Amino acid sequence: ASRASGVIVLDSIRAIKNMIDTNVEELGRLDSVAGDGDHGIGMQRGASAALLAAEDAAAHEAGAGSILSKAGDAWADRAGGTSGALWGLALNAVAAEVGDVAAPTATVLASGVTAALAAIARFGKAQLGDKTMVDVLSPVAIALTESAEHGLTARDSWKSAALIAAEAADATSQLLPKIGRARPHMEKSLGSPDPGAVSLALAIDAIAAVMNS
Ligand code: ADP
Ligand code: MG
Ligand code: MG
């Protein structure tokens, strides 16, 4: 187990939790356009539980992968909702790829996010363009893979991925929801971004700030 990557993971989960606390009302508002309005509160429950679990694991000298896995389990247990289950799966998929490595390389980040995307797609069955968090995670996985192939550092590849994530989340405004709770109210959602896509892009940005600090 390495302290370096464990600290980045713990700091990242804390940054995500703080970002959710700041945006809890806005995420709820976005989910109330066509969904059931609980995305902010669900993400807040999940991220808060994940941070407690991550702090506990880190206090026991756990490495990055173990911290992520404990955080993912806590998130899925406590968040409720579709996005909570998907975040739990995603964090566990990243955990399995990352393991307890010394330092996350660009290649590890790319394979971790690619594994998270595969886990979410397998469980949730969303296709690209269905107006879900997949519409952010998919271009991010592609961008990270290309950055790693071009030899970018982990920090630079994540930084450019965060910009792509923000653009992709914005672009979901133009989509009609094909899956999930927003599906029955699809026309109401036009012009408003998908809440799960927005929160994911904000989380990726919060991690970018940690990697740049
Ligand atoms: P719920 O819809 O159960 O109330 P949330 O409001 O917390 O859960 O999360 C809604 C978000 O979950 C959506 O905005 C979307 O991004 C994501 N989502 C819902 N269903 C799926 C799915 N099948 N695959 C991927 N993401 C999904
Ligand atoms: Mg909801
Ligand atoms: Mg709900």
Element (DSSP H or E) covering residue 2: none
**Ligand 3 centre from 47 Cα, in Å?**
16
- pLDDT tens-place string over residues 27-83: 999 999 999 999 999 999 999 999 999 999 999 988 999 999 999 999 999 998 999
The length of the chain in residues reads: 213
CA of 58 to the centre of ligand 2 (A): 31
197 pocket-lining for ligand 1 (C-beta < 6 Å): yes
Q: How many domains does the chain have?
A: 1
Complex ipTM above 0.90? yes
Q: Which domain, by its residues, includes 184?
A: 3-212
Instruction: Give the residue, by CA position, lying nearest to ligand 1 atom 19.
Output: 180
Residue 39: DSSP 8-state? H
**Cα-Cα-Cα-Cα dihedral sign, residues 133, 136, 142, 143:** negative
- Quote helix, strand, coil % in the chain, to nearest 5: 80, 0, 20
CATH of the domain at 187: 1.25.40.340
